[in-house]
Structure 1
Amino acid sequence: MAHYRASESKREQFRRYLEKSGVIDTLTSVLVALYTETDKPNDALDFIKLQLCAARSEPADAEALRVELADLQQKYNLLMEENQELRNRLMQYESTT
């Protein structure tokens, strides 16, 4: 009987660990999403995998990637403006000759 209580205690600890880390909530929301799908997917496991990937929090370097993207977007816009200016100047020189 003592073995039964020890394993029950381990189960309870594991359950609390899963609750604390958000695993139970995430799995529940994924399963609810599958349940509420009107068109059930052919491969439920793939659906669950996709949902779990979407539910994961962003990687630690996501903010750095966002900053880099904004910087590159700004550089791109500046280069596009410069390109347009150079094209306009080229058109002026070509039309005068």
Structure 2
Amino acid sequence: MTSTYRPNESKREEFRRYLEKGGVVDAVTRALVALYEEAEKPNNATEFVRRFMGASGPDSAEIETIKTELMAVREKFDELVRENEILKEKLQKYENGERGQ
């Protein structure tokens, strides 16, 4: 039984050394300590850690705002496409009427 357990332990130890060597353990530890020391805990701890570790990109609130704006722009676009079709039809009728006279 111990022989099947040891390879897993060996792989875990190897992975742990890999994370330590790459500075991952220190970076995660610093992020967690900073979160612990925050006087007012953020609503989204994951977002805090992401930002602390230097991840760029919009946060959850920014993503929601962008999604809302995108939906509004799509609605306006659809409205303008419909208006454009109506105006094309009116223009076609007008041009056909002009030629008929």
Given the two structures, how large is their TM-score scaled by the length of structure 1? Answer: 0.54
Measure, in 2, the Cα distance between the counterparts of 1:6 and 1:16.
15
Residue of structure 2 equivalent to 1:28: 29
Given the two structures, how large is their TM-score scaled by the length of structure 2? Answer: 0.52
Measure, in 1, the Cα distance between the counterparts of 2:10 and 2:46.
31
Measure, in 2, the Cα distance between the counterparts of 1:51 and 1:42.
15
Q: Alignment partner of 1:41: what SS?
A: coil
How many residue pairs get aligned? The number is: 54
For residue 9 of structure 1, what is the amino acid of its counterpart? S
For structure 1, which runs of at least 5 residues remain unmatched after alignment? 55-97
Residue of structure 2 equivalent to 1:57: none
Measure, in 2, the Cα distance between the counterparts of 1:43 and 1:21.
26
Taking CA–CA contacts closer than 8 Å with sequence separation of 6 or more, which of the two structures ends up with the larger relative contact order? 1
Q: Alignment partner of 1:53: what SS?
A: coil
Q: Which has the larger radius of gyration?
A: 2
The alignment's C-alpha RMSD in Å is: 1.0
For residue 14 of structure 1, what is the amino acid of its counterpart? F
Percent of aligned pairs with the same amino acid: 56
What pairs up with 1:72-83 in 2 under 5 angstroms? none
Measure, in 2, the Cα distance between the counterparts of 1:14 and 1:44.
25
What pairs up with 1:32-51 in 2 under 5 angstroms? 32-51=33-52
Residue of structure 2 equivalent to 1:78: none
Deviation at 1:3, TM superposition (A): 1.1
Deviation at 1:16, TM superposition (A): 0.3
Deviation at 1:22, TM superposition (A): 0.2
